[in-house]
Chains A and B, each alone.
Chain A
Amino acid sequence: MPEKGIINTKQFVWMLFIIITTLAAMQIPSMLIMQAGRDAWLSVVSAWFLDVMLALVYAYMGIRFPGENFVQYSITILGKYLGRMVGILFPLFFLLVCSLMLQGLSQVVNTIFLPMTPFNVILVSSFLVSAFIGRKGLEVIARMTEVLGPLFFFSIVTVCCLVLPAVHMERLKPQLDEGIAPFLIGTPLMLTSFGVCIIMAMYIPLCNRPENGFLAKFSAVSMGALVVGLVTALSVGIFGIEDAQYMNSPGLQLAKMINFSNYLERVEMVWLLILVGSGIVASSSLLWAFGQGLAQIVGLKTYQPLIYPGALLSLVFCIGSFPSSLNQTNFFHYTFPIVAAFVETGLELFLFATALVLNKRGAA
């Protein structure tokens, strides 16, 4: 296997958590609110449940094919050629998510914090740092998340607690105003974002206790769902659904709302810290997963030389496909869920079913 590093369960949890946090810090809450209105938090809960169900499949596959990630077991299950064709979709998907994340992150930084700085400078720097970390390997990323993850979790919860005085409960009422349809449609939207955690299948073989895969995913998604749910519910409770649904980063607006006894205010830098920190680390692990997956498909000894080219490819995707934040939001809202649902659920369930039918098992 190209990656030599080993991670422990704790690092596993925080790595997954950081990926969800990035999405929570970006547009996901407002997209959810647009879809599900006041019931958006219910979508988060149901998506959390479905994602845990999905994680069972991933964890089972991780145990059924010990020491193999989905790129490898798709080759084991489907054979050399078809398996490779299916397997390459996973790394490409990670590259796509990386593009989306860094584009979204740079847009927020550019519009809110560094308006004079050319957008491309922020974007390129983010890619450069991500690739730099990604090339260092999984252990480096894991150790970073172990430090940053708890910090971010704590900061988000603190931010949410501090904006509580601004919440008007009546803006969250009535629940289920339009029936259950809006929140049911919101569920897949949220699920596809939680679903980026299918990267767990890349980590399971490298975890010192692969059998803890499900537990790790469960804890990470629970914490992530708490964070996304809090941000979503608070945004509705504070801004009302009409304004919240069009916000580019509701979490940031929440941080801007903090005015604690008129002395603790202007703490949105905390949100910037969370956004940039988690965004960069998450993208670096996505780049790592891309490199690792591609190296395994082609059968390379090392994945490191592929990280910088991967980052560059992702950058070209960004520049070519998302000339503005509007394009990115549009893509994120309408195209990404379809792609993600196909890769995260469709492909994996297909592999799962095929493995059962053909009765394939891992070598070990």
Chain B
Amino acid sequence: MSIAEAADPKGSRVWNPLIEVGVLEEDKHMTVLIVFAALAISLAEGIPLGKQGQWKELAVMSTLLGMTILLAAGNYLGLPSPLSLLERLLEPIGKAIFK
């Protein structure tokens, strides 16, 4: 993969200078997969919950999956993930303490 990338300097890597997060084509495929996985989980776990009438559980689960899809969409668009934000906030402190 590395050679192919080196040979293709334009590459599939899209850099957004504003947010400094690169998204690989491969990761974009992953996003699509994640959305499908989220749907599959909501069906597999959600249907039994709905049948048993555990609406609260269903709601929490759907919220989680919704967040996942939102975050995945963010990744797809190259938005920074929450961990990157956390990193930008705390890394200077860490760098000040540790070598």
Contacts and interface: CB of A to CB of B under 8 A. Distances in A.
Does A touch B (CB under 8 Å) in the complex? yes
Given A299-B56, A317-B71, A335-B87, A309 B38 contact: yes
A19 B83 CA distance: 22
Interface string B17-53: 0000010101100110110011001001110010000
Nearest to A317: B83
A83 interface: no
Given A300-B60, A331-B87, A334-B94, A320 B74 contact: yes
A312 B75 contact: no
A309 B81 contact: no
B95 A334 contact: yes
Contact of A301 (B26, B33, B57, B81): B57
- Provide the main secondary structure of the chain A interface: helix
B46 to A, nearest CB: 8
A302 B81 contact: no
B61 A321 contact: no
B4 interface: no
Contacts of A333: 94, 98
8 contacts: A35-B98, A300-B56, A310-B64, A315-B34, A316-B81, A319-B72, A320-B72, A320-B84
Interface of A: 34-35, 96, 99, 118, 120, 124, 185, 188-189, 294-295, 298-302, 304-306, 308-310, 312-313, 315-317, 319-323, 330-331, 333-335, 337-339
Interface of B: 22, 24, 26-27, 30-31, 33-34, 37-38, 41, 44-46, 49, 54, 56-58, 60-61, 64-65, 67-68, 71-72, 74-75, 80-84, 86-87, 90-91, 93-95, 97-99
Given A298-B56, A305-B57, 13 more contacts: A189-B98, A298-B60, A300-B60, A306-B57, A312-B34, A312-B65, A315-B34, A316-B72, A321-B84, A330-B91, A333-B94, A335-B94, A338-B94
